[in-house]
Amino acid sequence: MTRIVSSAVLLAALSACGGGHPRGIPSRFDDVDPYAWRQNAPDTYPVHGIDVSRWQGQIDWHRVSGSGVAFAFIKATEGGDVADPLFAHHWQGATAAGIPAGAYHFYYHCRGGAEQALWFLENAPPRAGTLPPVLDIEWTQSRNCPRRPDPETVRAEAQAFLDVVTAAWGKRPVIYTTVDFWTENEMWRLGGYPFWLRSVAGHPQETYGHRHWTFWQYTGTGRVPGIANEVDLNAFAGSEAEWQAWLAAATL
């Protein structure tokens, strides 16, 4: 009886301090620093994926696939002269495991959009069976590029990048951004593109207003079987059937 009471007390204590699986995170994943999701939580969406770069190190992509990851966006380049050294490794692993993959470019505000697009295409040229390319545009923390251009310049250079990549791929890229960057630069003015929005402390409807989004990055501290380090987790804005339809239309 004492053991039963002790167990009950322990479970209550764990629950009170956040023990057990984090609320709102799909049961097949985990989160080492979860937000206290209460409504419109990530696990209300059925389709989830990851985005990775060299910081995730070596990945067991077959374990990742087995965990239910439905898509992966993989960093290819940044700025006008930096390539991710694990891009090819991650790309080959994801595709071998049957995970739909797409390449992304991390934008620097110290070079023109068209120039960066050419660098991206040099390292991630169009190839069949892939997700649309992604422009990751946000404020950088780099000491080498502290520039913060005015909103009109930001959007014009982003559009230059998008135009070059669209012409090469024949598909409109996805735009990834953050709450502050979205607001300060009025990124919704770049209409007609799928948006991938970061919001780790609230549903995009709360943090971005009633704006359409296709992907939602809901944590940067996720854990996925097959990946030793923390990883970004993302949800697709729709049902499994809607995901399959989007995939068929968006895949090159």
**Separation of alpha carbons 199 and 212, rounded Å:** 14
Please identify which residue in the block is written with the tokens 């993302």.
234
Q: Return d(Cα 35, Cα 221) in angstroms, integer.
A: 10
Q: What are phi and psi of 218, to 5 degrees?
A: -105, -10
Instruction: Please say if 138 is a catalytic residue.
Output: yes
Whether 161 and 134 have beta carbons less than 8 Å apart is answered as: no
Residue 54, SS3? helix
Give the active site residue among 78, 115, 122, 138.
Answer: 138
Q: Within the chain, where are the H helices?
A: 2-16, 61-66, 87-96, 113-123, 151-169, 179-185, 204-207, 240-250
Catalytic machinery residues: 138
